[in-house]
Structure 1
Amino acid sequence: MPVQLWYDPVEIPDAPPPELNASTHRSRLALERVLADPDDDKTWEELAVTYDEMAPEWTEWAVEQPWYAATVAAGLQHARPVEWIVEIGCGTGQATELLARVGPPVVATDVNVSMLTGAPALPHVAYVAADVRRMPFRDGSVPLLVSLNGVPDFREFGRILGVGGQLLWCTSFGPGTPLYLPPDRVADMLGPDWTTEAGHAGHGDWILAVRTR
């Protein structure tokens, strides 16, 4: 099912996005494999190793992208206020810093400790090493789940997000993002039990999905 509501683009930069050869990037190929088979443990491990290898240079590269987290800022404007936020695939904290400014406590997670050790110490933020397939939260307990350039496990999202739970899924560079899922595809994979709205910001796009039943 397509996204039900699209917003006009905001924050359109003059400079082009970085060229990352996204369509043939090893992360894109691995993403498609785990979407086709969420139980493909070998490919999940390959993804973890890929980003572990990039961890030492991740912050330096990300700060050179001025629009890197623009989609998170745009999507949050449409999210309902919550008491706390969970971030998956937080990396070295580029979106985490933005989430921390929103107000509620943030639990920022990543499968790679090497990424977490490079994240900044922030007030009201707890960093947790966690696999997106096995999140350390009770069924239906998470009010808002946020990801920027992450890898999804929709079965686990359905477990930890109860009725009224929100999922904000963002990419930095749209189709130019190696880990890319178009908003319409996210809506389709979530299914009919969710309402969806989406938009563009910077070079990327975002989708906010709310579980209705």
Structure 2
Amino acid sequence: MAIITLDPIDPAAVVDGLDGVNHPMRHITETIINDGSWGADRRADVASFFDELAKDWSGSRSAEQRASALDDVFVRAADWVPRATGFALELGVGSGMFTPTLVQRWGTVVAADISPAMLAEVPPGLAPVMRADASRLPLVDRSTHLIVLANMFLFPAEMDRVLADGGAIVWLNSRGVNTPIHLTTEAVLDALPGEWSAVESQFGAATWAVCRRSSQVPPGKIGVVASTTA
């Protein structure tokens, strides 16, 4: 494992009373990668939780800040993001707040979520939407070169299955460590099958990482910027 850490840009913290560390979604996030705890009951509970939040989701969050954080990934980690090929897969799309940036940067995007009410909030025509459980996606092996997980659970084996050779996973937490669905870059790499490496940084309150299989990291990109953890 190697992690390149780039200098943060305008680092900040979200202070609004939300305790992401002790949020129920944090517990689910951690148990999924630690012991694979995910089944029909939990799937239904999570879908229902986000269904209830869907109507007010976009209005209570900054689309501009989220778009800027994802755009920073494509600017400063450009060498780690593969050339746009086929479709990018955005999981946990919610109401589509990150999707316009992803469409602009990549082109074809498939936007998926477990919550039908959230999918109903995605602007029409923005991207094809798909209701799906990210632990068992209706996709063939190695079908996408880019997976975007913004404030989304990590299902390590399934991400490894559908990610094409040479592909990348973008892991983004819009509130940084206070995001309810949060994992450190190291935890993400440890959970994924096999050997992985990443470049990470912070933009405003958001933290992000671009993860690739270590054997497919762009030449010369490990150990040459800022600090490296091995």
1:51 aligns with 2:50: yes
Identical counterparts, % of pairs:
26
Give the aligned partner of residue 76 of structure 1: 74
Aligned counterpart for 2:205 among listed residues 182, 199, 203: 203
User: Is contact 2:82-2:145 (8 Å) kept?
Assistant: no
Q: Indicate the SS of the match to 1:67.
A: helix
In 2, Cα distance between equivalents of 1:96 and 1:24: 28
Question: Which aligned runs of 4 or more in structure 1 are off by greater than 6 angstroms?
Answer: none
1:96 aligns with 2:99: yes
RMSD: 2.0
Q: 1:66 to 1:103 in 2, by over 3 A?
A: closer
Aligned counterpart for 2:113 among listed residues 110, 115, 129: 110
Q: Displacement, 1:137?
A: 1.5
Q: Displacement, 1:186?
A: 1.0
Letter in 2 for 1:19: G
Q: Displacement, 1:58?
A: 0.7
Give the aligned partner of residue 188 of structure 2: 186
Q: Give unpaired runs (5+ residues) of structure 1.
A: none
Q: Which moved more, 1:196-205 or 1:32-41?
A: 32-41
1:115-160 deviation line (CA, Å, top 9, x unaligned)? 010011245x211111101112210111000011001100100110
Q: Displacement, 1:162?
A: 2.8
Q: 1:34 to 1:153 in 2, by over 3 A?
A: same
User: Is contact 1:138-1:160 (8 Å) kept?
Assistant: yes
Q: Displacement, 1:113?
A: 1.0
Give the aligned partner of residue 167 of structure 1: 169
In 2, Cα distance between equivalents of 1:27 and 1:157: 20
Aligned counterpart for 1:153 among listed residues 152, 155, 161: 155
Q: Indicate the SS of the match to 1:74.
A: helix
In 1, Cα distance between equivalents of 2:137 and 2:35: 19
Letter in 1 for 2:54: A
In 2, Cα distance between equivalents of 1:103 and 1:35: 28
Q: Displacement, 1:16?
A: 4.1
Give the aligned partner of residue 26 of structure 1: 24
Q: Which moved more, 1:72-81 or 1:176-185?
A: 72-81
Q: Give unpaired runs (5+ residues) of structure 2.
A: 217-230
In 1, Cα distance between equivalents of 2:131 and 2:71: 24
Q: 1:99 to 1:122 in 2, by over 3 A?
A: farther
User: Is contact 1:143-1:164 (8 Å) kept?
Assistant: yes
Give the aligned partner of residue 176 of structure 1: 178
User: Is contact 1:17-1:203 (8 Å) kept?
Assistant: no
Give the aligned partner of residue 37 of structure 1: 35
Q: How many residues align?
A: 209
Q: 1:39 to 1:24 in 2, by over 3 A?
A: closer
In 2, Cα distance between equivalents of 1:8 and 1:193: 24
